[in-house]
Each structure stands twice: as structure tokens, then as C-alpha cells.
Amino acid sequence: MLFPSVCLFLSAPAIAAAALGSHQIPLQQQPLTEGSSQLSKIPSLGFGTSGLGSGIPFLGFGTWNLDKTNVSEAVSAALHAGYRHLDCATAYGNQKEVGKGIAHGLKSLNLKRSDIWVTSKLWNDHHDPSLVEEAITQTLHDLDIAYLDLWLMHWPVGNAPDTGKTQLDYLPAWHAMEKVHKSGRVRNIGLSNFSPAELKDIVDHSDTKPSVHQFEVHPYLPQSKWIKYQQELGITVTAYSPFANTNPTYTPTKGDPPFLLTNLDMLAVAAKSGCTTAQVALAWGMNRGYSVIPKASNVKHIKENFGALECHLEKEDLESIDDISKKHLKRFNNPSKGYGIKLFDGLEDA
């Protein structure tokens, strides 16, 4: 078995303790300063060994596929609701609007840039080492900030500069990202959507260990062994699509499980805990020791999702949600066919 089996059951009060315990990152990457008072108000996964608790907050706000017409307002509303972790990407095509939302939210709340955590991602068309510098410059310009807290490589595949053909080319791009990291414009660097073999290749042939790996995780795709494997390596996990197929981006196909937020097992836990099913899905993820990045454009839903920090789940609740994947195991984001390259090799429902 490639990854050791484990089940993590953390009560809500234990989340912060877990963040400062087994999920710390070695001091290869730069933690935020002690002055990040607003960040410290939300349970976070601590980087480094300082024990300050400054790091990537457990609960973030995702911006994937948020419409340009209201994403600025949504980002500002998220900051007003209490979010201090924003997840962005060049490929989302809305970073200028996200930047406007950041500026408005910080100004209206009298916050400093250091009070929030901002993640973005290197897109496939800039994997060539000669283009990586251009990519970070454009990202910072679009977001109108001086630095990123975290810069991820969005996929292990890139476009060949001469033919545009998709290819596996992550190592040269990663080494170029390491140089950007040393410049101080990126506090941490990490990966997204990598397979076990690809992650090992990065770790074995680089000076800087990825601080974070972001990939799809939800009750239909728990990936428990994969998560535990990375936590043991000192790599923090961020889960995207925590609501699974509730995300309208995923086109329903024959045989799909029911929408996660209407799943009967989820509804039962929600009724027992006094939380909404969205809050249950998020609390389940945070209890497993990783950050989650739900997205929403409606202020009501933005606030509802933030309430997951107050959603207490008992051990039997977590076990009940763990069992959902025994009935329905499904990965919803797999562009292997479109890229012509097998992705997620060795992982659940690849």
C-alpha cells in the first residue's frame, strides 16, 4: 500500500491544536509575521516551528468561476464576513476584479495586507522557465498586491512554447518558482492536482519542499491515505470543491451520486448537529486537518459557509460522513482526456 491508512477525528476545539502540531511545515518557507493579528483570529495551519499560529487559515474563500460582474463585491463581502484566506488563480480570469474586492474590503475594514492570506496559481501556458517571472509579475499586478502568501503550480502539465502541445513539464517550472520564492514576492510555493509519483519527483529533485498541495476532496472523494501521506511529509493540504457535485461547474453524468448537500446522510448529520449541510461538509474537512475553500456569490451563502467554524461534529458524525464514499466514490474534476495525459495516477477514482 503506497499510503498508510489513518482516520483523524478532531473535535471542533481541537482544530487549532492540530494546526500547530503534526501539520507544521519545516522552516524552508517563510511564515507570516507575528503582527498578523487578524489572521490569528481564525484557526490556521501553522507554517514553520514558531508556534505563532500564523499561516493558512482553515477556512478560505474560493473564486473559481465567480462571475466578473460581481466577484469584487463577493470578495469584499467575504472579508466583511470574516474570511482572511482568499484562493485565486490566473486561469479563473477574474484576478483584476478579485484585486478590486481585496482593496475595497481592506480599506472598509481598516485591515492591512498582512491581515489576509492570498493564494494564486501558475497557469499551464507559463510553465516555460523563461515565462515564470512574467507570470508572477502579472498576477501581482492584477491582484494589486506586493506579494503572495502562496503560489501554486495549478497542474503538472504545461503547454510546449513551440507547439502549444500539452506535456508533463513540472520540474523546470518548479525550479523557476523556487527562484521567485527566494525573491520574497511569494512567501510559500506549492502544488495542485499532482499524483504521488509527480509529488515524489518534486520532493526528490528540488531544494524547496512544497508547503501546500491543493486538490479535490469531499465526502465522495475523501482521499484519506493521500492526505495522511502528505501530512507526514510536512505538506499541508487544501481541499477544493468541498461541496462536490453541488458545484455547477461539474456537468451531471449518468450514475452520479446525489448532490452532496442533499445527500441523506449529510442531511441526517446536519439535523443532529444543528448545522446546514454546507457547514457540515466544511467542518468535516477542517476536522480532518486541512483547509477548505468554498465559493459563493450570494452574501447569505458566504456568511453561512463561514459559520462552519462554529459547527461542532461528534466522532460518530464524522464516521457517518466517512462512510458516504463506501456507497458513492466519485472524482468530478479530471481533465485527463482533454489534456491527453493521465492525471491522478494511483489515486482514488483516477
Instruction: Give me the residue label for grid cell 509527480.
Output: 198
Catalytic residue among 83, 92, 220, 240: 92
Q: How many CA atoms lie within 13 A of 313 on its CB side?
A: 32
Q: How many C-beta neighbours within 10 Å does residue 52 have?
A: 19
Provide φ and ψ at 157, rounded to 5°. Answer: -110, 150
Which residues, other chains included, contact 281 with Cβ-Cβ below 8 Å and sequence gap of 6+?
Answer: 218, 219, 242, 243, 244, 260, 261, 266, 308
- E strand spans, the chain: 44-46, 55-57, 61-62, 85-87, 117-122, 150-153, 157-159, 166-168, 189-192, 212-216, 236-240, 291-292
What are the helix and strand counts (H, E) for the chain? 13, 12
Vertex 79: Cα angle to 78 and 82 (nearest 5): 90
Which residues, other chains included, contact 271 with Cβ-Cβ below 8 Å and sequence gap of 6+?
Answer: none
Which residues, other chains included, contact 146 with Cβ-Cβ below 8 Å and sequence gap of 6+?
Answer: 113, 140, 185
Quick check: is 220 catalytic? no
Residues serving a catalytic function are: 92
